[in-house]
Amino acid sequence: MFQPPGFEQQSVITSLGRMVYYTATEAPWRREDTTSSENLETLVFLHGFGGGSSAYEWSKVYPAFAAEYRIVAPDLIGWGRSEHPARNYKIEDYLTTITEFLEQTCSGPVTVIASSLTAAFTIRAAIARPELFKSLILTTPAGLSDFGENYTRSFFAQVISVPILDRVLYSTGVANSNGIRTFLEQRQFARPSRVYQEIVDAYLESAQQPNAEYAALSFVRGDLCFDLSLYISQLKIPTAIIWGKKSQFTGPEIGQRFASMNPQAIKVFQQLEEVGLTPQLELPAVTIGLIRQFLPLLAESATAAAARGD
């Protein structure tokens, strides 16, 4: 699985097993004459869900910050190189393990940069444990059953809920090179030409890990979906949102409704033209530029909120 130069794999133990993460420990990011990473502000990058998802999703973005920040980019439980318990995953599994991961790898409030459904989980974690978070930068955060929609009633969710058939569909439609490429080109990216072989290979390696189907099928069945609109107004952590205008699962109008529900916390809502669900893979340079723009703005908001005693 792709690992950027200068990054190494480390791990922590959560209540659901071993969680692998990637962090910069070697040249060109760490030299004897440079500041120890322990003295740097931390950025945590959390990937979204889908067949073959992993920390690779952010690997074209987080190295750009490795000289200035301590980078922590995990494979969530059930994905990538982390442990894959054979279970039907629930929302609480990810709320718990994300929180446990932050508690074990970070010494104070941090900026979390997260994607899609995981970004929605991060919002809920930040509501429950605000002391762990300094700010949030989120790409396409959605619970997938937002504003009264019920994802589990969709045709695909119903089909995947059929025992045995679900495993067959996973092996034939997800855990192979053609299935991965087709999904990325037709569903995840706005422009198929932006899907190159390394992306397919990275997703495929993750999708073919032992027991990888459990988390993926829990996601596709809708076991992990919820209505984020029921929670968004409770968020107090300064937040910026990036939304690909061509996201097929949740359009930008969903994000605009979220932003309008809580302008006190959501400081920025930025649409991107000709981009799908994962701008961090489709236009990584633009995503890097936006994160750099948002970090000082959100830090200023966090400082102001602390001064007010919010």
Question: Which neighbouring-strand residues pair with 8?
Answer: 23
φ, ψ at 168 (rounded to 5°):
-65, -45
Give the Cα separation of 276 and 115 in Å (integer): 12
- Tens-digit pLDDT profile for residues 259-276: 999 999 999 999 999 999
308 in Cβ contact with 275 (< 8 Å) = no
Give the Cα separation of 6 and 273 in Å (integer): 33
Question: Which neighbouring-strand residues pair with 113?
Answer: 45, 137
pLDDT higher than threshold 80 for residue 207:
yes
The encoded tokens of residue 240 equal: 């910026």
- Give the 3-state secondary structure of residue 86: coil
Confidence band for 160, pLDDT divided at 50, 70 and 90 = low
Give the Cα separation of 47 and 56 in Å (integer): 8
> In angstroms, how far is CA 190 from the centroid of its own chain?
18
Give the Cα separation of 124 and 112 in Å (integer): 13
169 in Cβ contact with 272 (< 8 Å) = no
The domains of the chain are located at 7-308
- Tens-digit pLDDT profile for residues 51-92: 899 999 999 999 999 999 999 999 999 999 999 999 999 999
Looking at residue 33, its pLDDT comes to 55
Confidence band for 303, pLDDT divided at 50, 70 and 90 = confident
CATH superfamily of 7-308: Alpha/Beta hydrolase fold, catalytic domain (3.40.50.1820)
